Structure formats: structure tokens, C-alpha cells
Amino acid sequence: MKIANRRILRPGEKIRVLVVDDSVVIRRLVAHALEEKDTIEVVGVAADGAIALSRIPQLNPDVLTLDIEMPVMDGMETLRRVRREYPQTRVIMFSALTERGAAATLDALRAGADDYAAKASNEGSLDRSLARLREELIPRIEQFFLFPGQLPAMKSSLPPTGPAGLAPPSAVPPRAVAIGVSTGGPAALTALLPRLPASFPLPVLVVQHMPPLFTRLLAERLNNICPLAVAEAQEGDSVQPGKILIAPGDFHMKVVAGDAGPFVHLDQSPPQNSCRPAVDALFASMSEIYAGAVLPVILTGMGQDGLRGSRILKAQGASLIAQDEASSVVWGMPGAVVGAGLASQVIPLDRIAEAILKRVCCA
């Protein structure tokens, strides 16, 4: 059974995982790390995409962990075939933290991969390698499922909408847009940001949960397709109308006051909600500069990052937009703000740009 995009597991049922990697060492490490979790069963391994495709009908996996560079059939071709032939199977790319690996991962996410995990370059010991693998992979696998007795996000707090599905604007006109997103984010941002015109009159700040290098490449790709200028934020960047800034991996992005106007401050203070950058860090800082004059947007993503900051901004009069469950890859972050009654609008991804423009133009 599925609730929107999450499958409910039956009592005693485990998540079935097929590990696909050309390295026998990696296959063994991943299988060993996953099998220590009692909710997961590694049903098989494969050294390349062709072998994996031949085994899917027999093994019936729920999830593939998929290497990118493999002989015979690489990860990209395997992904395309899985999306055509087994569209319900979740695919998590497993890539190196290199420029080539990051670029290939972004290509895979655009082609339909559900999420990705980064391979550690050198953890120094078997125990640390296993711990890192468990930390990276297990939450990303489990996010697509509901376990027996686990309740989905509440829907009773959905706000009423008008004929076009758009709520009326709040009393506080926005002076900036703040977007928080995680799993499924690159595709969501690619669908949303190019629809903001070059004349868009507000600054846009984005926190996408990604490691260093990935965020720079994401910003470069978005800059190539967006009417607005897009850049990975740097320390001291001015927060200007018509400019989109992406938080760099491993740094919180905060907005602070300056003599010439608001600017970006980056820091490596402790992670929030196990995240750095964190949406909550951005939202909380913007509440100090703009109070409720922020338009917060929560898109697809795992966990609850953004909930605390959304609560602060909502109390100051902000009107929050949340992506709906059906169009989200994972309805963790938007589902959390909806369940808390903080969302003024809950709408599909393809209508969020319209909602932003209506809110900014009509405020």
C-alpha cells in the first residue's frame, strides 16, 4: 500500500535492497552496513547495470543503490532503463565526492534518481567506514517507506484555497524569498527557478541540503537556465533584488544587517537538524532582518529542517508556501510545516512559481 509517495510496509516486512557497484569491496561494505539494520534486507548484489537489470525480476528490490561508473552498463544507462521498466523502484545514486562524481550525480537526479549518497574517500578504519555508510545510506533508504504503526503526516491542517488553489496574501508584504529543500531538490529547483522572470523584484535565498562542490555545480547549472542570476553564496555577498544565492555545502547561510544593506554571512557553527547548511539557520536569521516580510517556501525533502524557522516567521506574519505531497519526492520537510498548521498554501510544484509571483505582485 502507498500513501502518496511512501509505501507502507506490512508487519515484519523489510525494505529489499539491491546493491549495484563494480567494486567488490564497496559491495561488501554496503551490504554489511545495511544488513546491520533490522528494517533492511540486502537481497542481492550486482557488479554492473546489465547484471542488476537481469536480477530485478527475480529479486524484486524496493531500492537500488547504484554506482555511476561501471563497465558493461554504467549507472546512467541503468537508471534510464530502471525508470522505464521498473518505475516504482527507488534509486539512490552512490557517487564519489569529486567534481566528476558530483556532475554525474546531478545528471542522474535530473534523469529521475530519487536521491544520492556520497562515498567517503578514506575513513581510515573499517568501523568508521561502516558508520559513515550507515549514516549516509540508511536514512535515505528508509525515507521512502512508512513502517507499521508509523503515521503519515497529518492532512487536517491543509489551508483552504481559492478557485485557483492560491491563498490570499498575508498582511505583511514580502521583501525576500527564502527556499528550503532537500531530497528531490535539484529537480524541483530546476522546475521552479527558471519560471521567475528577470524582472523579479526580490532577492531569493536557497538552502539545498548538499555537500561542498555539489552546491557550486548546482548553482552553475541553474544560472545557465534561469533568467535571474544564480550563484553559490560567498561570505559578504550583498542580498540584492533579482539575485538567487545558493547556500554552499557545509556552511550555514545567514542574512545579517550591514551599513549598505543585508549581506550573507557563512559559518560552520554546529549542524541543525543534522544539516549544514540548514534551512532553520537561514530562516531564523532572516526573521531578525526582515521580521515577517519574508516569503518562505518549503519544497520536497527528508526530515523537518525548516519547521522551527517557519514557526518563527509565521508568528511574525509571514505567509508560507509548502509543496504538496503528491508532487514531492519525499514529503518530510513540507509535511512537517503542514502538519504543524504553518502553511498558508499547499500546492503542486508546477504551481509554486505562479504562487510566488502572485504573492509578490499583489502584496
139 lies in the same domain as 181: no
Residue 106 backbone class (left: φ over 0; alpha: ψ -120 to 50; beta: rest):
alpha
Per the domain annotation, does 160 fall within a domain?
no
Residue 121, burial from CB neighbour count under 10 angstroms (0-12, 13-18, 19+): exposed
Residue 362 has pLDDT above 80, yes or no: no
Q: Annotated catalytic residue: which of 22, 115, 237, 305?
A: 305
Q: What is the DSSP letter of 294?
A: E
Do residues 73 and 53 lie in contact, with contact meaning Cβ atoms separated by under 8 Å? yes
Per the domain annotation, does 167 fall within a domain?
no
Per the domain annotation, does 297 fall within a domain?
yes
Per the domain annotation, does 93 fall within a domain?
yes
Res 151: pLDDT? 59
Per the domain annotation, does 14 fall within a domain?
yes
Beta pairing, strands 252-256 & 263-267: antiparallel
197 lies in the same domain as 109: no
Q: What whole-number distance in Å separates Cα of residue 193 and Cα of residue 297?
A: 12
Per the domain annotation, does 13 fall within a domain?
yes
pTM of this prediction?
Answer: 0.89
Q: What is the DSSP letter of 348?
A: -
129 lies in the same domain as 204: no
Indicate if 252 belongs to the active site.
no
Q: What whole-number distance in Å separates Cα of residue 198 and Cα of residue 26?
A: 46
264 lies in the same domain as 356: yes
Record the cell numbers describing residue 67, joined without a space: 554506482
Q: Annotated catalytic residue: which of 182, 285, 287, 328?
A: 182
Record the cell numbers describing residue 172, joined without a space: 505583511
135 lies in the same domain as 214: no
88 lies in the same domain as 224: no
CATH number, domain containing residue 89 = 3.40.50.2300
Domain that holds residue 236: 176-362
Indicate if 310 belongs to the active site.
no
Angle between helices 307-315 and 279-290 in degrees, nearest 10: 20
Residue 230, burial from CB neighbour count under 10 angstroms (0-12, 13-18, 19+): buried
Per the domain annotation, does 45 fall within a domain?
yes
Per the domain annotation, does 213 fall within a domain?
yes
Indicate if 209 belongs to the active site.
yes
Q: In total, how many domains does the chain have?
A: 2
What's the mean pLDDT when you consider all of the chain? 90
Q: What is the DSSP letter of 359?
A: H
129 lies in the same domain as 235: no
Torsion of CA 39, 274, 326, 37, to 10 degrees: -10
pLDDT tens per residue, range 233-284: 999 999 999 999 999 999 999 999 999 999 999 999 999 999 999 999 999 9
200 lies in the same domain as 134: no
pLDDT tens per residue, range 96-139: 778 888 999 999 999 999 999 988 666 666 778 788 888 889 99
